Every structure is written in structure tokens, then in C-alpha cells.
Amino acid sequence: MKLTVEEKRLLNGERGGAARLAMEIIVRLGELYGAKELMPISQAHIDGCLYTAVGEAGLEFAEKLYGLGAQVVVPTSLNATSRDIVEWSNHKVGLDFSEKNIRMEQAYVGMGAVPTWTCAPYQAGLVPRFGQQIAWAESNAIVYANSVIGARTERYGDYTDICCAIVGRVPKFGLHLKENRRGRIHISCEGLSLATTADFAVLGYVVGELAKDLIPVLTGMPTWITSDHLKAFGAAAASSGSVAMFHMVGITPEAPDFKTAFQGVKPEVELSISDLMLKSKRNSLSSVDVTAVDIVTVGCPHLSAAELIKIAALINGRQVSSNIELWLNTNNTAYNWLENTSVISDLKKSGAKIFRDTCFVNTDLSGWGFKTVMTNSGKYAHYVPSRNGMKVAFADLDKCIETAVSGRIDN
């Protein structure tokens, strides 16, 4: 690989042991993908700070880098951690588990990352701009950055994410290059009945299954689609397939028209999605024989302030039923915006639990004994059965809230 003078210094250890280790990993990653050189980045988002995802090895790696004096050289946001940093002791999180997280949090913040603790950094202030080269990890953030913002990131993962942030460089490959960002599959969504966030999650799930790792181009999408809809769509598409980027013609920035989305090349495959396909997929996201739930949880990816406001309106002064938990997963940005409004106090008064910094599948649930969960998140519906061994009932947000208030699933 062709390296600049400064890159050779980093690799030789002239900028310290941490930079040398990070550079060795980034150069090796580039060689594996056939990259001829590195390129500078201007932002990073780290997923490796999530203790439940990386475990002891990830903690050891973070502490090793920090101990070697590592510092990030570009603005770097942090994904969720595995506990609510303020409220963890009220959430039955074990002391030992919490202490592991404290060490992880200290290592990453010590390396100069911003303690955003969210999987939706694009709704929490550190938003890249169009065309910017970045190194983001966390599948939903990657797909949002590439598709909705038009920033350029490959699918970075745990360990490589922090290495990119320490050296401020990535291999010149994959989705960093314009030619690899062209659409490959055309999926027509003309005439679909789309209204709720759950509808867009189901659509994303179907698109992920159809596209797998190819970039889909969707036509016929409604122009009123919101940031929260796009968040739900991308998270589900990245869960069911390995979608790291999509185009929506007339909506996303690299797809002002059909031809531009495909960069003038003909689509390799032409498909269409029907309401019947969405209905069938929606049904399959729920486990069979769910007649009652222990917990309703929404906010995967993290709830925006707009979504918290909507949930407070749906609860409308009522109480969460005593036989059920209602957990709302969000970040400090959304929480702080609303802290001095009635929204947060109304939600708390209702009995809903607000989890900041973390989420349902990534915190310590060992003290709860949940068996069945209801959610409107396609990503949760995908991961909860395998990660948490629970049954899932998938439903729209209003049904989730009604279930939490009534304590039973009404059909």
C-alpha cells in the first residue's frame, strides 16, 4: 500500500504506540480489501464501546489503546453503552456489570470521544455533511449516513472504528468511492399503503431481504417521509440484509432522479413490493401464539424528541398498567431538549421508564425475567428472539401504547 510520509511515521511508531497499533490494523484492513492507499476522514462513530457487544475482549482492547495514550484526531461520537449512566441502579443493573461499563466509558471518553451514547448520532448533533468521508460503525447509523445524508462510510465495526478515529484515515475502498455507491436493484414501491413508523420498518425489512448486500433504488416513496421513518426503514433493512446504503428517488441526495441513482447504468434486477408482501412480513415479525406481553419497549434506534412528544400525547395522562413495563429508549440530546417541558414529567408520571444511553437488547436484563416483548421496531423484532430469547409481538406505536396502558393485547 502506498503511504504518505506522515502515514509511515504513524506506522513506525513515531506518533506513539497506540497510533502504531491502530495504523497497523487500518493498513491490514485496506490490504484485505485491495485498497491502494488511505484517505483522510473528518468524523467517526464508535460502536465498540458497547460492552454487551464486544465483551471482555473489547474492554481489554479499549483499555490497552487508552493505556498506550491513544487520542482520537477527528470529532468522534459514541454509540450506546450498556447501562443508563444516571439511572442504572434503578433498572436492576448488576454492580459488576455496571463497573465493566464504567471502565469502557472512561476509556473511550479518555481517548477524546464525545459521550453521545446513542445509536442515532445523526439526530444528536454530530451530523456529517453531504460528501464528507467518515468512519461510522453501527449498522443503522451507517445506512442513514450513506443514504439520507450522503456522507461516505464503509461498514466499520468494533475495533476498526476506533482505529480509524485514532489515525484519522480509512482505506480508500468500498462506499468511500463514488463508483461503488451506484444503485444495483430497482424496487418499485408505487401505490403502497405506508403511514406509520412500523410500516416503514416492515418495508425496510422486506427491502433488506430482497437487496441483501446490493444497493437498492426505491421509486414511488412518499415525499412526506420523515427522519424517524427513514431511521426505522434503514435500521430494519440493515438487520434483515446487509444494506449499508439505499437510494429513494426524489428523496435521498444521491438520487435526484432514476438515472443518477444508477449512475447511468441499467438496473441488474427489477422488483416491486406489494401491500400483500408487507402484510405477510408484518405478521412474520411477531412470534406465534403471543397472547400477553411482559414489556412494551420502543426506541430502536433511539427515540427522537419528536417521537417522545408523540408517545406522551398517546398516553395522554393515563397510567401504564401495573402488570406491564413500558420502556422508552432514547439519548440525552432528545431527553435534554424536553427535560424542562411537561413531556418528560408526564411520561415519568405515567409509569413509563425512560432509558438514556442504552437500550433494551443491550442492557442487563437478568433481574427482570421478561418472556414476551411488544415493539414497533423492526430491528428489535429481528434481534430480540435470538439475542434475548424472548417472544415478540410486533405492532404500531399506538397499539404498543394502548397495550401498555390496558395491560392486555386487544386485537
CB of 292 to ligand F3S, least distance (A): 24
Residues 319-338 interacting with ligand F3S (rule: CB under 6 A): 329
Rg over alpha carbons for the chain, rounded to the nearest Å, is 21
- Comparing CB distances to ligand F3S, the nearer of 15 and 356 is 356
Q: Residue 300 or 338: which CB sits closer to ligand F3S?
A: 300
Site mask for ligand F3S (CB under 6 A), range 8-27, x = bound: --------------------
Collect all residues with Cβ–Cβ distance below 8 Å to 14 and sequence separation of at least 6: none
Q: Between residues 247 and 302, which has the closer beta carbon with respect to ligand F3S? A: 302
Omega before 301 within 30 of 0, i.e. cis: yes
DSSP code of residue 92 = T
- The footprint of ligand F3S on residues 217-236 (CB under 6 A) is 235
Distances (CA, A) of 81 to 53, 222, 280: 10, 34, 34
Q: Which three cell numbers stand for residue 142?
A: 451507517
Nearer to ligand F3S, 78 or 175 (CB): 78
Strands 295-303 and 325-330: parallel
* Contact set for ligand F3S, span 198-217 (CB under 6 A): none
* 410 class by beta-carbon count within 10 Å (0-12 exposed, 13-18 middle, 19+ buried): exposed
* Smallest separation, CB 320 to ligand F3S (Å): 20
Q: Which stretch binds ligand F3S (CB under 6 A): 103-111, 159-167, 191-199, 299-307?
A: 299-307
> Which among 178-186, 211-219, 224-232, 356-364 is the span making contact with ligand F3S, rule CB under 6 A?
356-364
Q: Does 302 bind ligand F3S (CB under 6 A)?
A: yes
The window from 61-69, 121-129, 148-156, 354-362 that contacts ligand F3S (CB under 6 A) reads 354-362
Q: Please identify, using beta-carbon distances, which residue of 84 and 254 lies nearer to ligand F3S.
A: 84
46/42 Cα distance (integer angstroms): 14
Report the Cα 42 to chain-centroid distance in Å.
Answer: 20
* Residue listed under C-alpha cell 414476551: 372
Annotate 169-192 with b (16+ C-beta within 10 A) or e (fewer): bbbbbbbbeeeebbbebbbebeeb
Site for ligand F3S in 136-175 (CB under 6 A): 140
Residue 360 CB, shortest distance to ligand F3S, in Å, is 7
Stretch that binds ligand F3S, among 208-216, 225-233, 266-274, 359-367 (CB under 6 A): 359-367
Q: CB of 107: closest distance to ligand F3S in angstroms?
A: 19
Contact 331, 307 (CB under 8 A): no
Tell me how far, at minimum, the Cβ of 163 lies from ligand F3S, in Å: 21
Q: Which is nearer to ligand F3S, 134 or 381 (CB)?
A: 381
Binding mask 56-95 for ligand F3S (x = CB under 6 A): ------------------------x---------------
Closest CB 142 distance from ligand F3S, rounded Å:
11
Q: How far apart are CA 286 and CA 395, in angstroms?
A: 8
Q: Which residues have CB under 8 Å from 149's CB, separation 6+?
A: 122, 127, 128, 129, 130, 253
Task: Kindly report the three-state secondary structure assignment for every residue of 247-301.
Answer: EECCCCCCCCCHHHHCCCCCCCEEEECCHHHHHHHHHHCCCCCCCCCCEEEEEEE
Cα–Cα dist 295/285, whole Å:
17
Integer Cα distance of 221 and 216 in angstroms: 13
Please say which residue, 53 or 249, places its beta carbon nearer to ligand F3S: 53
C-alpha cell recorded at residue 368: 427482570
379, 382, 391, 399: residue in contact with ligand F3S (rule CB under 6 A): 379
Whichever of 137 and 189 has its CB closer to ligand F3S, that residue is 137
- Give the range of 105-113, 297-305, 317-325, 390-398 binding ligand F3S by CB under 6 A: 297-305
With contacts defined by CB under 6 A, name the span among 104-112, 219-227, 254-262, 358-366 that binds ligand F3S. Answer: 358-366
Contacting residues toward ligand F3S, per CB under 6 A? 80, 119, 140, 235, 300-302, 329, 359, 361-362, 379
